[in-house]
Amino acid sequence: MNSNPSSGPALVGWVVDAQNDFMLPPERGGRLYVHDLFDGGKDPGATQILPALVRAVDWMHAHCAVVVYTGDWHAYGDEEIDPVAPDAAKGTYPPHCMGLSEDPEERRGAEVIDEIRPANPVVLARDASEWEASEVARTALRERRPIFIHKSRFSVFEGNPATDALLDTLRDQLGALEFVVAGVARDVCVKGAVEGFLDPARLQPVTLVTDATWGLGLESEAESLARWMGDGAALVTTRGLALRGPAASPTV
């Protein structure tokens, strides 16, 4: 489907966990609002990146071969869910993004925020098989639809083992890929995505949109970005995206 491979890799937009529970402050219903957990409440949190995130996702839909959303899709009993004594430093959190809950309010927390919610996405369930992942990729490209990957853990590669099969099919259909990443939280699930792409087992080109991500204060932004750049990631702002040329492939 990449009709002009000489122009470079096909771009894949990768929107990490931009869900109600993460992006909405508590007074608006967010159950695990992304903000610095260790600064005594001074950080206004993820709402401040919303304009940049909207710009980044709009750019992805205009310029990428396909746009992939990822989202925590939890059930009680998942390893990172601890309703009694959650401890972010140990990787456990209170219930959030409970996409498999019987409670509709809990399920609403798992939905992508209204401002960038994908229209009619093809869903890769968190227990999908490799065959199902391949079919999701093919359907998304054929019908020009976004993809929504459900996951049970921070890293999409650990939280949905069929992710690699989906990427294999995208490469088969589009040729070489480059991933453009935005979302939250920078030091948890974005970290899992970026470092997963940079893992020698995959070694995929990845660009992080720095003004369209926010963290929990588990690691400083400067430390994260320096490490990722050292491992081969590129960094760009939404202003830089706007100056970038179009992708080689049709958009979804």
Q: Model confidence over 180-224: pLDDT tens digits?
A: 999 999 999 999 999 999 999 999 999 999 999 999 999 999 999
**Which pLDDT does position 249 carry in this prediction?**
40
| Residue spans per domain, the chain | 9-243
Percent of the chain predicted with pLDDT > 90: 91
pLDDT average, residue stretch 135-139: 98
Q: Is the dihedral of CA 134, 138, 141, 146 positive or negative?
A: negative
pLDDT average, residue stretch 9-17: 98
Q: Which residue has the tokens 């490490």?
A: 227
DSSP H or E stretch at residue 179: strand 177-184
Dihedral pair phi/psi, residue 224, rounded to 5° = -60, -50
**What class does CATH assign to 9-243?**
alpha beta
* Band of pLDDT at residue 107, cut at 50, 70 and 90: very high
pLDDT average, residue stretch 164-178: 98
pTM above the 0.85 mark?
yes
- How far are the Cα atoms of 41, 45, 155, 193 from residue 38, in angstroms, in the given order? 8, 12, 23, 24
CA gap 128, 133 in Å, rounded = 7
Q: Decide which of 246 and 22 is more confident.
A: 22
Q: In the numeric block, which tokens belong to residue 177?
A: 């890929």
pLDDT reading at 227 higher than 80: yes
Q: Are 179 and 12 in contact (CB under 8 A)?
A: yes
